[in-house]
């Protein structure tokens, strides 16, 4: 059987309180005893049960992370980054992929509550206000990742999506483009904001997107294909397309090729996220990079902070996106 604190205490000839103190480095312990106890712990391969510790200490050192889809490279990278930063501070992560299903989001939140996670990072759309409110009521530290809404009182960490959309538009304008189309992720606030920013850049030049040139799509292969087709069959074909996600952009690239449309010869494309898709796409995809790792670092940092001090009011942290130039945009000048 796994050795417990009692085994260590007995063998070291001290009380369990003493062992606990050397494990947690609290209280006053003489070097002599500390060393002895440490030695015995090593001998016995003692590893304290964090379950028991959680029951008394009130902390599980676990945080729950909800993402819509871990198979989406952006979230995969987010997950990895979060996990990394969490591990550094001794926290483990329970990863929950909701598959965009509201019900599953529910289930997972309940699971996390039962498990008494110390905090939750929500990167899903949290569409169910009641559930959401319940979380706040339970006073469980909450952080919204990559989504935002004025109603949120919790911490929020996002990329500055509006600015990202703006950057994309500005870049295309600078390259001489004047005729645009957009494929935007309908089901995420971030998608809407990116579109918003894009429009604002066009507004600088008094260009207005006409209705047909804005197509909605989720960040999934099948839907993106449909959206791409719609754009490719537009009577008034754009010279540049802004896709609110690299995945959507990558799919567009393929569809274009099927339609014998050359990229960037006939149509320029710009994406968003800077995931592996942008790197692997052909041609390499010019895109707006999210500072994934930094986002994750801030997120963990903020969350841990509000675990310490639960009543901190929610800050909004918006990190700057950056344009990464590759080969999918043609210079018309």
Partner DNA sequence: ATATTTTAGTTAAGCGCTTTCTTTAAAAGA
Partner DNA sequence: TCTTTTAAAGAAAGCGCTTAACTAAAATAT
Cβ of 110: how many Cβ atoms within 10 Å? 12
Distance of CA 305 to the CA centre of its chain: 18
> Which of positions 314-333 make contact with DNA (CB under 7 A)?
none
Number of residues that bind its own copies (CB under 8 A): 55
- 136 near its own copies, rule: CB under 8 A: no
Distance of CA 212 to the CA centre of its chain: 31
Residue 244-263 contact track with its own copies, rule CB under 8 A, x = bound: ---x--xx-xx--x------
- 15 near DNA, rule: CB under 7 A: yes
CB of 51 to DNA, least distance (A): 7
- Nearest one of 127, 126, 154, 124 to 140, comparing CA atoms: 154
Close Cβ partners of 293 (under 8 Å, ≥ 6 residues apart): 81
- 133 near its own copies, rule: CB under 8 A: no
Close Cβ partners of 80 (under 8 Å, ≥ 6 residues apart): none
Parallel/antiparallel/unpaired status of strands 322-324 and 286-289: antiparallel
Interface segment toward DNA; rule CB under 7 A; list 19-27, 61-69, 164-172, 296-304: 19-27
DSSP structure string for 181-219: EEEEETT-HHHHHHHHHHHHHHHHTT----GGGEEEE-S
**How many distinct helices (H) and strands (E) make up the chain?**
13, 12
> Which of positions 202-221 make contact with its own copies (CB under 8 A)?
221
CB of 94 to DNA, least distance (A): 19
Number of residues that bind DNA (CB under 7 A): 31
User: What is the spatial distance between Cα 249 and Cα 73, in angstroms, rounded to a whole number?
Assistant: 13
Would you say 57 or 176 has its CB closer to DNA? 57
Instruction: Pick one of its own copies, DNA, none as the site partner of residue 276 (Cβ within 5 to 8 A by kind).
Output: its own copies
Are 146 and 123 spatial neighbours (Cβ–Cβ below 8 Å)?
yes
- 42 near its own copies, rule: CB under 8 A: no
Close Cβ partners of 268 (under 8 Å, ≥ 6 residues apart): 172, 175, 177, 239, 240, 241, 286, 328, 329, 330
- 54 near its own copies, rule: CB under 8 A: yes
Interface segment toward its own copies; rule CB under 8 A; list 15-23, 62-70, 165-173, 182-190: 62-70
Among residues 44, 48, 76, 106, the one that binds DNA under rule CB under 7 A = 48
Among residues 103, 280, 310, 320, the one that binds its own copies under rule CB under 8 A = 280
- 173 near DNA, rule: CB under 7 A: no
Are 48 and 8 spatial neighbours (Cβ–Cβ below 8 Å)?
no
Nearest-5° angle of CA 252, CA 188, CA 254?
10
User: What is the spatial distance between Cα 253 and Cα 283, in angstroms, rounded to a whole number?
Assistant: 8
Interface segment toward its own copies; rule CB under 8 A; list 94-102, 145-153, 233-241, 314-322: 94-102
Would you say 15 or 47 has its CB closer to its own copies? 47
- End-to-end, the C-alpha distance of the chain in Å comes to 74
Among residues 10, 44, 53, 314, the one that binds DNA under rule CB under 7 A = 53
Are 53 and 82 spatial neighbours (Cβ–Cβ below 8 Å)?
no
- 118 near its own copies, rule: CB under 8 A: no
Among residues 25, 42, 45, 56, the one that binds DNA under rule CB under 7 A = 56
The residues that touch DNA, with contacts defined as CB under 7 A, are: 1-2, 4-6, 13-18, 20-21, 23-24, 26-30, 32-34, 46, 48-49, 52-53, 55-57
The residues that touch its own copies, with contacts defined as CB under 8 A, are: 2, 45, 47-52, 54-55, 60, 62, 69-71, 73, 76-77, 79-80, 83-84, 87, 92-97, 99, 104, 107-108, 110-116, 134, 138, 221, 247, 250-251, 253-254, 257, 276-277, 279-282
């Amino acid at each position: 059987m796994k050795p417990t604190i009692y085994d260590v205490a007995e063998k070291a000839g001290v009380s369990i309180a003493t062992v606990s103190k050397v494990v947690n480095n609290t209280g006053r312990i003489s070097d002599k005893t500390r060393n002895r106890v440490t030695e015995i712990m090593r001998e016995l391969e003692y590893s304290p049960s964090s379950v028991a510790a959680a029951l008394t200490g009130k902390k599980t050192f676990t945080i729950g992370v909800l993402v819509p889809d871990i198979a989406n490279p952006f979230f995969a990278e987010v997950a990895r980054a979060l996990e990394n930063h969490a591990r550094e501070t001794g926290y483990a992560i329970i990863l929950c992929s909701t598959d965009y299903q509201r019900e599953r989001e529910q289930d997972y939140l309940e699971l996390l509550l039962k498990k008494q996670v110390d905090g939750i990072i929500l990167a899903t759309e949290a569409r169910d206000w009641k559930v959401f409110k319940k979380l706040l009521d339970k006073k469980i530290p909450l952080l919204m990742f990559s989504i935002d809404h004025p109603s949120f009182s919790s911490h929020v960490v996002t990329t500055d999506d509006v600015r990202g959309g703006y950057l994309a538009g500005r870049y295309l304008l600078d390259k001489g483009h004047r005729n645009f189309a957009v494929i935007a992720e309908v089901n995420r606030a971030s998608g809407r904001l990116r579109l918003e920013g894009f429009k604002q850049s066009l507004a600088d030049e008094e260009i207005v997107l006409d209705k047909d040139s804005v197509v909605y799509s989720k960040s999934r292969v099948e839907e993106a294909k449909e959206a791409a087709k719609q754009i490719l069959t537009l009577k008034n074909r754009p010279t540049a397309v802004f896709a609110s996600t690299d995945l959507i952009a990558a799919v567009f690239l393929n569809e274009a090729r099927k339609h014998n449309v050359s990229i960037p010869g006939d149509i320029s494309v710009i994406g968003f996220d800077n995931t592996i898709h942008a790197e692997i796409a052909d041609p390499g995809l010019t895109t707006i990079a999210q500072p994934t790792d930094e986002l994750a670092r801030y997120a963990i940092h903020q969350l841990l902070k509000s675990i310490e001090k639960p009543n901190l009011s929610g800050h909004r942290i918006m990190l700057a996106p950056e344009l990464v130039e590759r080969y999918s945009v043609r210079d018309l000048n």
